[in-house]
């Protein structure tokens, strides 16, 4: 049953323990699966979007005005259009990337342990198409304590 919070609906409030358990034990099934070849992705994405979403690159911090915009709406995956975050959960983290406290549904985002670059982090991907979105950290605001640090190039705001 969905929970109502500030005009938005969440399936549950995920915590850091939930995120790490999902990353270690497996993600819930997505609402739908979207599969395309690299050629097909290149046809619909800009080169920068392709690098970030399909090659797990990271955009430069503070390179998008999306960080400082807080209009109501939904943020969807730029690749497949899957709805990922509600603007009600967006906040200013001062990290240089758009940040959210919760996904729109518990199965909208997939989690993967990322042990690259000498760190242990949790990578966030679109659960429908596998697009790299960014990482989740346990240093966000209460009550969840989560910071979904997303690449603006992986998101599109929809009404």
Extents of the domains making up the chain: 32-158
pLDDT of residue 115: 83
At residue 139, does pLDDT exceed 80?
yes
Q: Cβ contacts of residue 153 below 8 Å, gap of 6+?
A: 46, 48, 49, 52, 53, 59, 64, 78
CATH class of 32-158: mainly beta
| Rounded CA separation 10/141 (Å) | 17
Closest CA to 149 of 159, 139, 135, 138: 135
- pLDDT grade, residue 11 (50/70/90)? low
Sign of the CA dihedral running 10, 101, 81, 159: positive
- pLDDT grade, residue 1 (50/70/90)? very low
Catalytic residue among 77, 79, 80, 149: 149
Question: What does the pLDDT average to over 66-88?
Answer: 95
- 129 a catalytic residue: no
């Amino acid at each position: 049953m969905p929970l109502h919070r500030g005009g938005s609906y969440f399936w549950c409030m995920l915590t850091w323990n939930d995120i790490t358990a999902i990353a270690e034990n497996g993600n819930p099934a997505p609402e739908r699966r979207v599969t395309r070849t690299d050629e097909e992705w290149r046809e619909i994405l800009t080169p920068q979007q392709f690098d970030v979403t399909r090659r797990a690159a990271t955009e430069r911090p503070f390179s998008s005005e999306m960080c400082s915009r807080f209009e109501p709406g939904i943020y969807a995956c730029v690749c497949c259009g899957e709805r990922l975050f509600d603007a009600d959960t967006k906040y200013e983290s001062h990290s240089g990337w758009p940040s959210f406290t919760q996904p729109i549904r518990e199965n909208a985002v997939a989690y993967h342990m990322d042990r690259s670059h000498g760190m242990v982090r949790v990578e966030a991907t679109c659960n429908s198409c596998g697009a790299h979105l960014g990482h989740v950290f346990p240093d966000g605001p209460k009550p969840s304590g989560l910071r979904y640090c997303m690449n603006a190039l992986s998101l599109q705001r929809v009404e």
